[in-house]
Amino acid sequence: MTARIIGTGAALPPVYDQARLWDDFFAEHLGGGRAAERIFTGAGVRHRHSVIEPAELATIATMSTGERMRLYTELAPPLGHQAVAAALADAGLTADDIGLLAVASCTGYGTPGLDIALAASLPLRPEARRLLVGHMGCHAALPALASVTDYVIAQQRPAVLLCLELTTIHLQPEPRDIEQIVTHALFGDAATALVLRPDDGAGPGLRVLDVVARSDTARSDQMTWDVTDLGFRMGLSTEVPDALREHVGPLVKDLLNRHGLDISEVGGWAVHPGGPRILDAVEDGLGLDPAALAASRTVLAEHGNCSSATVLLVLRAILDSAVPPGPIVAIAFGPGLTLYAALLELST
């Protein structure tokens, strides 16, 4: 028994040109200079989405964490509602059909929170369950998918997974170190959603076959997401690509071996685009042809890194590309240092 993904949805704030963002704000904010400009323009991002207009970025950078959380509480629910409603429409279901709403987010908190706001706005049935997966970072979509799959199998009820991140509300005040320049060059905002139902072996969709994880706690300092008085601050070591290159091959090979599959049989790779060097490391670690990660590179270019929401944007792009039926592997990375991989099977 397993679960099947039968609907996807996304909601994206206004889009902004990366070069224009540099000229209008980040050139001054990041101290200018050719080195900062090279890092910013070399991030592999052409456009990204933001709930914050460029003219307001300077104000955001001075906000306290409490002010930023109030902003999240205001801006997140409409975006989440739009993504979930789109996924339900794609699945041909209504909110009344849903037994569980799981929300993954690491960029904002409050109680009553986003899950409760959506329970009211959709609206969910009063007995519907809610699950919040918080502060796991960029890889949260896949452990959340595993939990939602377990629910769907055990309860034989449809469920929704929403990944929503507003990274731009955590703009840091005048960061001048390389880590922060890279962070501000990469991250954007997005909401993505999936609808899952019990798999009856019939009809189109993505069967969730397996989810695996690997954590290298000796490298836990290489990727961090710290709560400070001025929002949340990203720590991203230059050593992360090397760590992922070391671990991704064994992780994926173990996953595929459990199902009698080889890397050559995978028809689609939904890899979280943490940055160009991250994608290069995965490509090397798995021995993939450059074309295999085209969807990930396109999502990075057109949306930036939207934390947990991003791998689902890549998955949607793969499905829209008319990938043939068969195995698809999704991979995401986050603090821990943690890697997650999911084996999916597309049927039409």
Q: What distance in Å separates the CA atoms of residue 244 and residue 278, rounded to the nearest whole number? A: 8
Q: What distance in Å separates the CA atoms of residue 50 and residue 14, rounded to the nearest whole number? A: 6
DSSP 181: H
Rg (C-alpha) for the chain, rounded Å, is: 19
116-121 long-range contacts, Cβ below 8 Å, gap at least 24?
A: 117/76, 117/77, 117/80, 118/77, 118/80, 118/81, 118/84, 118/162, 121/77, 121/81
Q: What distance in Å separates the CA atoms of residue 48 and residue 83, rounded to the nearest whole number? A: 17
Q: Burial-class residue 127 by CB neighbours within 10 Å (0-12, 13-18, 19+).
A: exposed
Helix residue spans in 110-239 (DSSP H): 114-121, 141-155, 178-186
Closest CA to 48 of 163, 181, 184: 184
Q: Annotated catalytic, 138? A: yes
Largest CA distance in the chain: 58
What positions carry a catalytic annotation?
138
